[in-house]
Amino acid sequence: MSWNPSSEFTPPSTPEKDKPKPNPGTIINLVGDINLEVKSFNGTTVYAVSSHQLIDGSKFFSKLLGGGSTFAEATAFKAHILKKSQNQLFSRFKLTIDIEEKSQEAMTTLLQILHGKPHSLISDDIRLVDTWYKIARLADYFDCGGIFEDWARIWLKLPTATYESDLQNLDKWILISEVFRNPAIFEAVTKQALLLMFTKKDSEEVFWKVSQTGNEDVFTATSPGVLSALVRKREDLIKKFAEPLLAIAKHYEGYPKTLTTSTQKTYRCRLSKDGCDMLISGAARYWIHQLSLTEWGENCGSTADVTLQDLAPQLSVINFPTWTDVTYNGGYAPVYHSSCNPLLAEEFNVNKKATNVLKDLVGLNLLELRP
**Tens digit of pLDDT for each residue in 206-265?**
999 998 777 899 999 998 888 988 888 887 777 777 777 777 777 777 666 655 555 555
- pTM (2 d.p.): 0.77
Cα distances from 318 to residues 46, 50, 314, 348, in angstroms, run: 64, 64, 7, 12
Task: Write out pLDDT tens, residues 264-302.
Answer: 556 777 777 777 887 888 888 888 777 777 654 444 445
Please say if the pLDDT value at position 195 is more than 70.
Answer: yes
**DSSP H or E run through 164:** helix 160-164
Write down the pLDDT at residue 296.
43
Per DSSP, the chain holds a count of helices (H) and strands (E) of 15, 7
What's the rounded Cα separation, in Å, for the pair 198 and 310?
10
Please say if the pLDDT value at position 338 is more than 50.
Answer: yes
Q: Mark 152-172 as b/e (b = at least 16 C-beta within 10 Å).
A: beebbeeebeebbebbebbbb
Average pLDDT over residues 131-144: 95
Write down the pLDDT at residue 317.
72
Q: Are 299 and 235 in contact (CB under 8 A)?
A: no
Average pLDDT over residues 45-55: 95
Average pLDDT, the chain: 79
What's the rounded Cα separation, in Å, for the pair 109 and 122?
11
φ, ψ of residue 34 to 5 degrees: the values are: -130, 135
Q: Are 145 and 179 in contact (CB under 8 A)?
A: yes
pLDDT band at 3 (very low <50, low <70, confident <90, very high): very low
Q: Are 174 and 181 in contact (CB under 8 A)?
A: no
Q: Are 73 and 135 in contact (CB under 8 A)?
A: no
281 contact partners, CB below 8 Å, separation of at least 6? 248, 249, 252, 255
Greater confidence, 354 or 192?
Answer: 192
Q: What is the dihedral of CA 58, 60, 64, 65, to 10 degrees?
A: 0
Please say if the pLDDT value at position 15 is more than 60.
Answer: no
